Structure 1
Amino acid sequence: MSESIGPTTRHASSAGSRPLLELRDLDTDIALRRGTVHALDGVSLEVAPGQTLGIVGESGSGKTMTALSIMGLLPSGGRVAGGQILFEGRDLRSLPPDEVRRIRGVRMGMVFQDPLTSLNPTMRIGAQVAEPLRVHERVGRAEARERAVEILRRVGMPRPERIVDSYPHELSGGMRQRVAIAMALVCSPSLLIADEPTTALDVTTQRQILELIDDLREEFGMAVILVTHDLGVIAGRADRVAVMYAGRVVETAATEQLFHAPRHRYTEALMQALPESAIRENGGHDRLNSIPGLPPDLSGPLTGCRFAPRCSYVGDDCRTTDPSLIPGAHQHACLHPVPAPTGAVTGPVPARTEPAATPVTAAPELAAAPVLSVRNLVKNYPAHGGGLLRRSAGQVSAVADVSFEVRPGETFGLVGESGCGKSTVGRLSVGLEQPSAGQIVLDGTDLTDLTGRERRRMHRQVQLMFQDSYAAMNPRMRVDAILAEPLEIQKVGDGAARQARIATLLDQVGLSRRALERYPHEFSGGQLQRIGLARSLALRPRLIVGDEPVSALDVSIQAQVLNLMRDLQRELGLAYIFISHDLSVVDYMADRIGVMYLGKLVEIGPARDVVRAARHPYTQALVDAVPSITPSSAAAGDGMTIRGELPSALDPPTGCRFRTRCPRAAQICTTEPPLVGGLHQVACHLPLRAEPSGTATQTQAAV
C-alpha cells in the first residue's frame, strides 16, 4: 500500500517562512438548549505558504470546528469566544465584517466532505463555479463562464465545456469533488481548507483527488489545511501534523517525526487501532488495539488530562493535572508519553507492549460443504429514457456471471470501486432482490427456486448488516422493539423466549440492558453498528453479509466493531461476506478476497496472495492506492495507477471491461478473458504474475 511516508517529507520545508495563517489560543463555543459546548479550547496552529498542515482526530475532536472557525461558517449558536485568527498578519476578528467577508471569499477556499450536499441541486455546474467570481470580483456572465471552464479543466474535469451545463446529480462522486475544488480555487486563494475531502470516495478516486490537491498546491503556491480522520492520508500528504482530542491540540510535529515516533498516548493508540498495524508479515493477525469508551462531554467542567479515562497508561497525576503542550519542534501534552527513541527511527511505530496483543487465527472449515454457493450470477436492471413515455434505453449490467463460495467460519471479502456490483451481490445473496440468471445455493437449497413462506424460512440462515445502521432502523422504535421485530416476523418463541434472546444478544455485542429503552438517535455510530449486528444475529444465522459495515466509523470505533465481529465468528461459527472498498480492512478481516470491476469478478484467492501478490492490474491499482502510515517494500507492487471514470454499466466495454483504464491493455484484451487458475484465479490476458504454484495458466499460454 504504497501511499506511505518515506525517508524524507513529501513537500519542501516551509520552516523559515512567515505563517500565512496563525491561530493563537482559539476558543469556540456552541450554545445549545442544554448548555454551552466548548468545542475548541486554546487551539494554536500555524501554516506557511506552500505548506500542507494535516489535522487528525476522532469525530468530536474539534478538527472540523477549527476549519469552520477559520472560515466563519460556524453552525447556529456558534461563536469564536477568544483568541486570534491571524491571516497574512491581520487578525480577522478585529477587521470590519465586509473586509473579512471579502478575504474569506477570495483569499480562502474550502472543500467540504460531501460535495453533493454542498452543491445546489437546482443550479448548473458552471453557474456554481462562477458564482464566487460574480459576487466578489464583479465579473460579467460570459467571462465568468469562460473562467469556470478553465478552472474545471485545470482540476482534471473531462469535457468541461459540457460539464458546465450539467447538474450535480448527473456527475459521479469524484467529478462532484472536482467541482467543489474548482469552486474553492476559482478566485485563486492563498489558503485551501479541505475538510474530509475523500472520506466518501473509493481509494482510486481518493488518490486522484489527493494528488490533484497536491499538484494545485504546487501550481498556485497555496497553503493547504487537510482535515481527516484517515491517518494514512495525512502520512502521505502533509508536511506537519496536528493531532486533536476533545477540542485541543495534543501533539504536533513534522509528519515523518510524528508517525515514526509519536509521543502522546492518544496518537499511539490511533495508530495501533489501524488494521495494518495488526497484520503480521507471515499473514497472521493480531487483535486490534481499540480505544475504550468515548471522548468527554465538552459541555461540562473537565479535570485533568482529557484522555485519561480512555488511556492504558493513566496515572493518578493524569486525573488531577491538565497537561500543556511542551514547546519545541515536536510538541505533546502528555504526562506519561511514549518514550523518545534513542537513535534514528526508520521503522514503523513500535507495537504497544502492554496490554499484550492477543493473536487471532482464522480457521475456516475449508473441507466442509459451502454455506453459500453463488453460481453464474447475473443481475440486469432495465434503463429508461426521460420524458413521459419513459422508453426503454437498454439494460444496466450490474452483475455479470459471478461465481464464488463461502464456507463455515470463513470470511469472504468482496472489494471494488463504487458501481462495481459488490453491494448488488450482497443484496442478491440475502434475497432482497431476484437475480436475472444464475443460482444462489444456501445450505444446499437454491434460493431462486423458492417462493413465499419457504423463502422467508431460509432467510433465517442469512442476514444483512447495513452500512448505515441508523438509516436501516425505524427512528420511532425503541431498541427492544427493533431487536424483537425479526423474532416476531419469523414467529420464533413466545414473549418470554424473545426477551431472553434479546438479553443474550445485548451481552454478545457488549451493550447494557439500559439500551433497550432508548431510540436510535440516542446512540453513537459504533453503538448503532453493535445494535445492527445484534439484529442480524437475532435469528441465529449461519451467514452474515456486511455491506460496508465500518466505513463510516472512526478508526478507534472501527477497531471495536471489527474485534467484535471476529470474536462472534469464533464463538458462533459464523461465515461472513465482508463488502468494502477499503482494502486494508478487508485484508485484516478476510480469509479469501474477490475483486469486482464493473459487474465482473476479476480476481479471487487467499487474502494474503491477492493483496501482496496481485495478479490483475486493477487489483494492484487498488492495493497501491491505499494510504499507509508505514513504509512497506512488500506493498510497493508494480506502481499501478488507473485514470479516468468508471465506464457506464449501461454500455460496458467489450472484451475485458477494465481495458479502457488499464495501462497494460493490448489488442488481445478486446476479447473477454476467462477466470482461470487454482486457488488464486485471475481474469486477465496479461496478468502481472504467474500463479503462486508457478503453473502457467490457459490464458498465459494463449498469449
Structure 2
Amino acid sequence: MSLLRLVDLSTDIALRRGAVHALDHVNLEVRQGETLGVVGESGSGKTMTVLSVMGLLPPGGRVVGGQILFDGRDLLAMKPEELRRVRGVEMGMVFQDPLTSLNPTMRIGAQVAEPLRVHQGVGKAEARERAIEILRRVGMPRPEKIVDDYPHQLSGGMRQRVVIAMALIRSPRLLIADEPTTALDVTTQRQILELIDDLREEFKMAVILVTHDLGVIASRADRVAVMYAGRVVETATTEELFRAPRHRYTEALMHALPESAQGKLYSIPGLPPDLSRPLTGCRFAPRCRHATDACRTTDVQLVQAAEEHLYACLHPVTEPVAFAPRGAGEPREAAGSGTILSVRELVKEYDAGGKGRVSAVAGVSFEVKAGETLGIVGESGCGKSTVGRLVAGLEEPTGGQIVLDGTDIAGLDRRARRRMHREVQLMFQDSYAAMNPRMRIDGILTEPLEIQRVGDQAARRARVTRLLDQVGLPARALERYPHEFSGGQLQRIGLARSLALEPRLIVADEPVSALDVSIQAQVLNLMRDLQSELGLSYVFISHDLSVVDYMADRIAVMYLGKLVEIGPASQVVRAARHPYTQALIDAVPSPDPGHAPSPATAIRGELPSALNPPTGCRFRTRCPLAQEICATEPPLQGGPHQVACHFPLRPEAAVSAGAAPAGAG
C-alpha cells in the first residue's frame, strides 16, 4: 500500500531572469515499510524532490504542478496549520550535514525534544527524559550526559545520531534521509545505515534514502529510482536494477564505480544540462555514447521492462554490468626504484590544555618511491590527515624524521621549509574552502609562483595557462571566481595549484570524498594520467578502500595514530591480515545487492580518546577477537606485507608465538 505518491510533480526555482525547472513531471511511489533509494548526480533533482515533499524549498522555490499524496491526502491542498502538523509529526528528515542543521547555541537535549514541545506541548522535564530515551535508542553513548552538550562537542557520527533522534522522536511514518552518510568514514557510515534499517523495522516506517552512492543503494534499498536532470529515468526493484539496468545513464553510473573498472574508470563526458533553458529529446543524449538523432528530438517516456521496472531510453542496455572483486583491478606499472620520502618513527602530540597530551601520531614509519602512490586509510581520527600535514610541512612533528631526498625536513628552519614546498604540495579535501573567494583563479594559481619567486610575470602567465590545459579546463577560467565552478572543476583547480611549483610529491587528503561517482572518476583518472606524464608520487589519503584500491600501489592502514598494516594494495585488499583492515573492507558498501557484510566484522562503539589511548594494540577495545596478550604492543612485521597483530588473520603472517589460534586479534 502506498504511503507517499508523487503525481506529475513539477518544481521551479525563480531567478532574476527566468526560472530553473528543477523537477519536471516526477512520478514516484513509497510503500509502507519499504526503503526507496533515490540516486543520481548533483543537480539531478533528488534532493529537490524530498525538499518539495517536506515544504523546505529554497528561496524562490515553489511547486508549480502535480500532487504530493501522503496517505491519500494532497499536501499541496492542505491549510498551513494542518500541513505543519503532518510534516512535523508524521514525517521526519535527516539532513546531509548535521552540524549545519543543528543550532550551535542550543544544547542537544533541547533540540531533540523541540518537536515534542512545539507539536505536543510536553513539559520541559518530560521532554528531557524522552530525549534521553530516544538518544539511547539510536545508540548514543552516555545519553544522560550528551543532552547537556553542544553540537561542536560531538563527533560527526554522534551528530548524525542526534539528527536521526530529532527526526524519530515523534515516531514518524516516513523518514527522509538526504545523503545521511556522505561525510562519514566507512565504519561510521555502516553503523548509521544499520541504525536506520533497525529503526525502520522498530517504528514500522517507510524510508526515502537519497544518495549518489550506488553501493549504499544496493545494500539498503528495496526499490530504486534513478533521476537525471529533474526527471525519473528508471525505477525498479534493487535486485532487478543491478542485475539488468536498462537506461544508459544508470549503466554509466555503474561503469564509473571503481569496482567496475576495466583499466581506466569510465568517465561520463560533459555536464548535466542547464535546467533554466528549454530542453528537447532525451536529456542525457548530449553525454550518452549511444545517442542517435532520434534521442535528441524525441521526448522519451517511461516504458515497462518488467512488472516493476520502468525506463525511458530508446537504446536500452542489453548486457549486465560486471563488478570485479576488490583487489582485482589492473596491475599498476612498477614504481621507480629510488625512495623519494622516508618517514621514520613519526610522532605528533598536541597539548590538551592541562588535560594531558593528545597522541595523534605515534611512531609511524613508511616509505614512498618515485612514481609510486601510497594510500593511507582509516577512520576519522586515526591520524592519517595529520600525517599528511606533517609530510607537507604544515605542522612540525613532536618526534621522528621526515626524510625527503636525503634531507630531514622535520628539522628545517622556516625559510628552508618554505623552499621545501617546491617539492611537496598538498591537495585539500574541500578545494573551495582552501581558496580565497575574493581572488580570481588567475591569482590563486599565480600566488605560489610569486611567493617562491619563480619566473617573471610573462612566464607565470604561461605556466598557469599550461596548468589549466593539463587539468582539462579552458583558459577563460582564469578570469572567474571559485564560486562560479562545480565541485569537480574546483578539485581540478586544486590539483592545478598543487602542480604549480612542479613538485615531486603530492599529498592528496580525501580529494574525491565529496564528489559524485561520475566526477570522482574524472578526477581519479586525471590524477593517474598526470602521474604517468610528470612522474609524480602521491600520498593518497582516504577512508574509501575501493578508491584507494584503484589509485594506490601500496596501502597503509592507520588506527588511532598507529600503523597497523602496510603492503601491496592488492594483497591488503584481498588478503587483509589485521582485523581492523578486514572491518574497513567489509564496511565499504558493495554495488552487488547480494553482498552482505558479516556482522562479525562490524566495528562497534566509538573511537577511544587519543588523550588516553588503550595500552598495547590500540584496536583491542573494539576488536571482536581480542585476547589478553593484546594488552602488550605488537610489532609491525612480516616482509613486504607487514601487520602489527599478535595473531594475524592469516597464519603465514604470524609475527609472534602464542597458543591462540590464527584469526584471534
SS at match of 1:269: helix
2:315 to 336, 346, 364: 336
Write the deviation string for residues 565-619 of structure 1: whole angstroms up to 9, x where unpaired. 0001111111000000111100110010000000000110111111111111111
1:74 to 57, 72, 90: 57
RMSD after superposition:
1.8
Write the deviation string for residues 74-115 of structure 1: whole angstroms up to 9, x where unpaired. 111111111000001111111211111101100000011111
Contact 2:646 2:654 in 1 (8 A): no
Contact 2:3 2:71 in 1 (8 A): yes
Write the deviation string for residues 522-562 of structure 1: whole angstroms up to 9, x where unpaired. 11111111111111111111110000001111100000000
Q: Distance in 2 between matches of 1:362 and 1:119?
A: 45
Query: Deviation at 1:685?
Result: 1.2
Which residue of 1 is the match for residue 191 of structure 2?
208
1:318 to 277, 290, 295: 295
1:626 to 550, 565, 588: 588
AA aligned opposite 1:497: A
Q: Distance in 1 between matches of 2:535 and 2:553?
A: 14
Write the deviation string for residues 417-452 of structure 1: whole angstroms up to 9, x where unpaired. 111100000000011111000000001111022213
Map 1:543-622 → 2, pairs under 5 A = 543-622=505-584
Mean alpha-carbon deviation: is it higher for 562-571 or for 635-644? Answer: 635-644
Q: Please say if 1:305 is aligned against 2:288.
A: no
Which residue of 2 is the match for residue 276 of structure 1?
259
AA aligned opposite 2:433: A
Q: Please say if 1:229 is aligned against 2:212.
A: yes
Q: Distance in 2 between matches of 1:680 and 1:483?
A: 40
Write the deviation string for residues 313-350 of structure 1: whole angstroms up to 9, x where unpaired. 010011111101114521001111112x6xxx7x8469
Q: Please say if 1:365 is aligned against 2:335.
A: yes
Q: Paired residues, what number?
A: 656
SS at match of 1:676: coil
Change (3 A) 1:610 1:350: closer
Contact 1:348 1:631 in 2 (8 A): no
Contact 1:123 1:167 in 2 (8 A): yes
Contact 1:266 1:311 in 2 (8 A): yes
Q: Distance in 2 between matches of 1:702 and 1:625?
A: 26
Q: Distance in 1 between matches of 2:330 and 2:416?
A: 38
Which residue of 1 is the match for residue 350 of structure 2?
381
2:182 to 195, 199, 207: 199
SS at match of 2:339: coil
SS at match of 2:2: coil
Query: Deviation at 1:125?
Result: 1.1
Change (3 A) 1:590 1:199: same
Q: Distance in 1 between matches of 2:585 and 2:660?
A: 27
Contact 1:364 1:408 in 2 (8 A): no
AA aligned opposite 1:698: S
AA aligned opposite 1:640: T
1:186 to 155, 165, 169: 169
2:623 to 659, 662, 668: 662
Contact 1:377 1:399 in 2 (8 A): yes
Map 1:61-140 → 2, pairs under 5 A = 61-140=44-123
Structure 1 stretches (4+) deviating beyond 3 angstroms? Answer: 347-351, 635-639, 698-703
Q: Distance in 2 between matches of 1:593 and 1:632?
A: 27
Query: Deviation at 1:514?
Result: 0.8
Contact 1:364 1:407 in 2 (8 A): no
Which residue of 2 is the match for residue 48 of structure 1?
31
Which residue of 2 is the match for residue 535 of structure 1?
497
Which residue of 1 is the match for residue 269 of structure 2?
292
Write the deviation string for residues 479-521 of structure 1: whole angstroms up to 9, x where unpaired. 1111111111111112222222222212211111111111111
Contact 2:212 2:517 in 1 (8 A): yes
Change (3 A) 1:600 1:650: same
Map 1:390-469 → 2, pairs under 5 A = 392-469=354-431
AA aligned opposite 1:608: S
Which residue of 2 is the match for residue 686 of structure 1?
647
Change (3 A) 1:35 1:477: same
AA aligned opposite 1:157: M
Mean alpha-carbon deviation: is it higher for 51-60 or for 450-459? Answer: 450-459
Change (3 A) 1:111 1:43: same
Which residue of 2 is the match for residue 146 of structure 1?
129
Q: Distance in 2 between matches of 1:699 and 1:399?
A: 28
Write the deviation string for residues 206-257 of structure 1: whole angstroms up to 9, x where unpaired. 1011011001111111000000011100100000000000010000000000
Change (3 A) 1:182 1:702: closer
After TM superposition, the score normalised by the length of structure 2 is 0.96
SS at match of 1:169: helix
Q: Distance in 1 between matches of 2:441 and 2:92?
A: 43
Contact 2:647 2:655 in 1 (8 A): no
5+ long unaligned stretches in structure 1 = 1-17, 279-284, 352-358, 385-391
Q: Distance in 2 between matches of 1:336 and 1:314?
A: 8
Q: Distance in 2 between matches of 1:461 and 1:255?
A: 48
Write the deviation string for residues 134-192 of structure 1: whole angstroms up to 9, x where unpaired. 11111122221121111111111112122111111111111111111111111111000
SS at match of 1:698: coil
Query: Deviation at 1:286?
Result: 1.0
Contact 2:217 2:224 in 1 (8 A): yes
Contact 1:676 1:699 in 2 (8 A): no
SS at match of 1:297: coil
Q: Distance in 1 between matches of 2:619 and 2:331?
A: 35
Change (3 A) 1:307 1:516: same
Q: Identity of paired residues, percent?
A: 77
Contact 1:21 1:46 in 2 (8 A): yes
Query: Deviation at 1:632?
Result: 8.3
Query: Deviation at 1:455?
Result: 2.0
After TM superposition, the score normalised by the length of structure 1 is 0.91
5+ long unaligned stretches in structure 2 = none
AA aligned opposite 1:363: E
Write the deviation string for residues 397-425 of structure 1: whole angstroms up to 9, x where unpaired. 00000000000111000000111100000
Q: Please say if 1:642 is aligned against 2:603.
A: yes
Contact 2:645 2:655 in 1 (8 A): no
Q: Distance in 2 between matches of 1:646 and 1:540?
A: 38
Q: Distance in 2 between matches of 1:304 and 1:349?
A: 31
SS at match of 1:535: helix
Write the deviation string for residues 341-381 of structure 1: whole angstroms up to 9, x where unpaired. 6xxx7x84699xxxxxxx96522435x22110000000001
Q: Distance in 1 between matches of 2:597 and 2:36?
A: 26
Q: Please say if 1:520 is aligned against 2:490.
A: no
